[in-house]
Amino acid sequence: MKTAIVIGVGPDRGLGAQLCKRFAADGLKVIVAGRTLAALEAVANDIEKAGGKAVPAVADATSETDIVDLFNAAGEDLDLAIYNAGNNTPGKIIDMEADYFEKAWRVACFGGFLFGREAVRRMVPKKSGTLLFTGASASLRGRSNFGAFNSAKAGLRTLAQAMAKEYAADGIHVGHVVVDGAIAGDKIMTRFPDAAGRQETLISIEGIVDGFAFLYRQPERAWSFELDVRTSKEKW
């Protein structure tokens, strides 16, 4: 059974969880990876109840051991790996602790390296597989108050682009989805109680998941590296 690993899974109404549910519904066994066991189990249970196959796996995206273990547990049929970890880390550089800047990079970029490396180590021998990264508009340019996040996300995107070129000849499809704006998920709903009243300004999670699914389905003679996604209300 084809297997997917999705890391960066949190609450049910979040991008990570919905990616898991979509690919499970599409017939893949999904390794549901993230930091909070309860959340992972909830997602995996939903999938199993719906007749799919899912395994919760607690993993810290920045821990080499955790990531290696995660891929080892995925088995031979790994066909899709999605790196969805990394939160926005706002703040002015002048006030910023070095540790904060480093942690922003560690989660958004270094974890992507560990994850991507383990993915290609397993996919290259089979000459097939898809590796996808979640990006943001912050990946594309620097902006005041977002230096740490910008730096980390640009580092991830450029790594992904280098890997796309490095492993294309091996049959590995590497892609990057630029999420431009706030997602209509639990995170934003909890933080901004008014968010429910402006749903049309929040990106549809299903729409983003469609983008990942589209990239995954592409034939080797028509691969995309990058896809941007935003609502019609977004200024860009």
Q: What is the DSSP letter of 156?
A: H
- Nearest approach in angstroms of CB 216 to a copy of itself is 12
Measure the CA–CA gap between 167 and 60, rounded to whole angstroms. Answer: 25
- Nearest approach in angstroms of CB 1 to a copy of itself is 25
Smaller CB separation from a copy of itself, 50 or 93: 93
Smaller CB separation from a copy of itself, 141 or 191: 141
Smaller CB separation from a copy of itself, 52 or 175: 175
Give me the helix-helix angle, 111-123 and 64-74, nearest 10°.
Answer: 30
- Nearest approach in angstroms of CB 49 to a copy of itself is 27
Measure the CA–CA gap between 228 and 134, rounded to whole angstroms. Answer: 10
Contact 178, 135 (CB under 8 A): yes
Q: What is the DSSP letter of 26?
A: T
Smaller CB separation from a copy of itself, 6 or 177: 177
């979040």: which residue's tokens? 14
- Nearest approach in angstroms of CB 121 to a copy of itself is 6
- The residues that bridge with 32 in the sheet, in sequence order, are 6, 56
